[in-house]
Amino acid sequence: MYNKILVPIDGSDTAVLGLNEAIKIAKNQGSTIRLVHIVDEYVLDYAYSPGLYATNVIETMRATGQSVLDKAEAHVRESGVQVESVLQETIGGPAADLIVAQAKAWPADLIVIGTHGRRGLRRLAVGSDAEQVLRSAPVPVLMVRRPEKAA
């Protein structure tokens, strides 16, 4: 039984698909969902950015992340499932590491994560946080993929 379900969200359509699947499981099993959003401050190069500008961008990133969490939290509450959320920050660290750490610290019984299902060079170039979570998670991981378009 999955009492605690961790759901990483980034505001993408695939993250919403993962969240919807987590809601189905939580409703069926009476679980609590914890949403986690990662703010990566590494996207800024402080050497080339004035301090005030960089601070404003980071604050905007935090506010955007909190907005993503707030919308997802409202969606979960509307379904009648207990929910909580966490906004985490990193400076260039892999999001997967923070997701796995959150799963251990809470402690989660299941991680449900949306994945883009990239293949080939695109996957190599962009990487896959979902795959990294799958490889290092201490609990089962359900990866939810967007259905492929019909040919």
CATH code of the domain containing 21: 3.40.50.620
Give 92: exposed, middle or buried? Use CB within 10 Å, 0-12, 13-18, 19+. exposed
The structure tokens listed for 128 are: 């896959």
- 52 lies in a domain? yes
What domain count does the chain have? 1
Residue 119 lies in a domain: yes
Percentage of the chain lying above the pLDDT 70 cut? 80
Q: How far apart are CA 126 and CA 100, in angstroms?
A: 20
The β-bridge partners of 34 are 6, 84
Overall average pLDDT of the 103-113 stretch: 98
User: Which residues constitute the domain of residue 102?
Assistant: 4-145
Residue 22 inside a domain? The answer is yes
Confidence bin at 122 (pLDDT 50/70/90): very low
Looking at the domain assignment, is residue 150 inside a domain? no
The pLDDT value given to residue 25: 98
Does any domain span residue 151? no
81 pLDDT tier (thresholds 50, 70, 90): very high
Mean pLDDT in residue range 115-132: 61
What does the pLDDT read at residue 57?
Answer: 79
Banded model confidence at residue 149, pLDDT cuts 50, 70, 90: low
